[in-house]
Chains A and B, each alone.
Chain A
Amino acid sequence: MTWLPYAVAAWLLAAGLYGLASSRNLIHLVGCLSVCQSATYALLLGLGYRWGSIAPIFYDHPPGTPAVDPVMQALVLTDIVVGATLTALLLVLTVQIFKRTGTLDPEQLKPMRRRGDPAGADAPRSAEHPSR
C-alpha cells in the first residue's frame, strides 16, 4: 500500500485542477486551489511516513526509537501557513474584483476593458472599433 499516498495526491491535484479550470465563481475557485494544496500535504506526509514508528517526540521514548521524518512535518506545517495566507490574499483580491466589476464569474470578466468603464459601456467602444 505504499503507492496509496501518491495516488491520493495525484487524484487531489487532478480534482483541484479540474475545479480551477471549470469554476464559474471566483470564491469557489479559491476553494479548489486549497484542494490542490491538500495534495501536497498528502504527498509530503506520505513520503516521510514509516510503518510502525512513533511520532518524533522523544519525551517518553528512549532516543533511537524509530520515528517518522520530522523534516517533512516541518515542511507541511510551513505549507499550511503559506496556504492560509494565500487563501486570504486571493479572497481579498476576489472581493476587490467584485467591487470593481460587479461580477464573480470569470467568463464575464473582460481583462482588456479600459479602467473606469462601467459594466455596460460597450456601445461607444464598438462605435470606435466597428470590427469588434
Chain B
Amino acid sequence: MSVFLPLIFLLTAASGTAVVLVRDPNRQIFAICANGLVLTILFTALQAPDVALSELAVGAAAVPLLFLVALMAVRAGKVERENGKGGDS
C-alpha cells in the first residue's frame, strides 16, 4: 500500500502531461478520458469514494462527451462554411 499511492500520484502527473502534450483535439479526448480514470483510481486510493464516484461520472464520461459535441459542432460548421463558399462562387 505504501508503494501503491506514490505510484498512482506519479501516474496522475503522467496522464495530465499526456493531456497537454497530445495536440490533436480528436486524440486529446482519449487522453482526457484516461486522465479521468486515473483520477478516479487516485481518489479511491486516497479514501474518498464519493469523490471518486462523481469523478467517474463527470471526468471520465460527461466531459469527454462535451468535447465530442464541441468537435462535432465545429466540424459541422466547417462543412457548412465550405458549402456556403462553393454556393456563392
List residues of A whose CB falls within 8 A of some B CB: 1, 4-5, 8, 11-12, 15-16, 18-19, 24-25, 27-28, 30-32, 34-35, 38-39, 41-42, 45-46, 49, 53-57, 67-68, 73, 76-77, 80-81, 83-84, 87-88, 91-92, 94-95, 98-99, 102, 104
B30-89: which residues lie under 8 A (CB-CB) from chain A?
31-32, 35, 39, 42-43, 46-51, 54-55, 58-59, 62-63, 66-67, 69-71, 73-74, 77, 81
The 10 A-B pairs with the shortest beta carbon distances in the complex, nearest first, are: A19-B20, A91-B70, A55-B47, A27-B25, A12-B16, A35-B16, A68-B47, A73-B48, A95-B73, A84-B58
Complex-state Cα separation, A32 to B17, whole angstroms: 9
**Which B residues lie within 8 Å of A73 (CB)?**
48, 50-51
Q: Which residue of B lies closest to A119 (CB)?
A: B81
Cα–Cα, bound, A81→B74 (Å): 25
Q: Known: A80-B55, A98-B74. Is A28-B23 also a contact (CB below 8 A)?
A: yes
Q: Are B58 and A45 in contact (CB under 8 A)?
A: no
B16 CB to nearest A CB, Å: 5
Question: How far does the alpha carbon of A56 sit from the alpha carbon of B47 in the complex, in Å?
Answer: 8
The count of residues in chain B whose C-beta lies closer than 8 Å to any C-beta of chain A is 42
What residues on A are CB-neighbors of B9 within 8 Å?
A: 4-5, 8, 42
Shortest beta-carbon distance from A104 to chain B in Å: 7
Once the chains are docked, how many angstroms separate the CA of A49 from the CA of B66?
32
CA distance A27 to B22 in the complex (A): 12
Within 8 A of A (CB), among B1-33: 2, 5-6, 9-10, 12-13, 16-17, 19-21, 23, 25, 28, 31-32
The answer to whether A34 and B47 touch across the interface, beta carbons within 8 angstroms, is: no
Besides A91-B69, A94-B70, A95-B74, 8 other CB < 8 A contacts?
A4-B9, A15-B17, A18-B20, A31-B28, A80-B58, A81-B54, A91-B66, A102-B81
Asked if B49 contacts A55 (CB within 8 A), the reply is yes
- Shortest distance from the beta carbon of A109 to any chain B beta carbon, whole Å: 14
B32 CB, min distance to chain A CBs, angstroms: 6
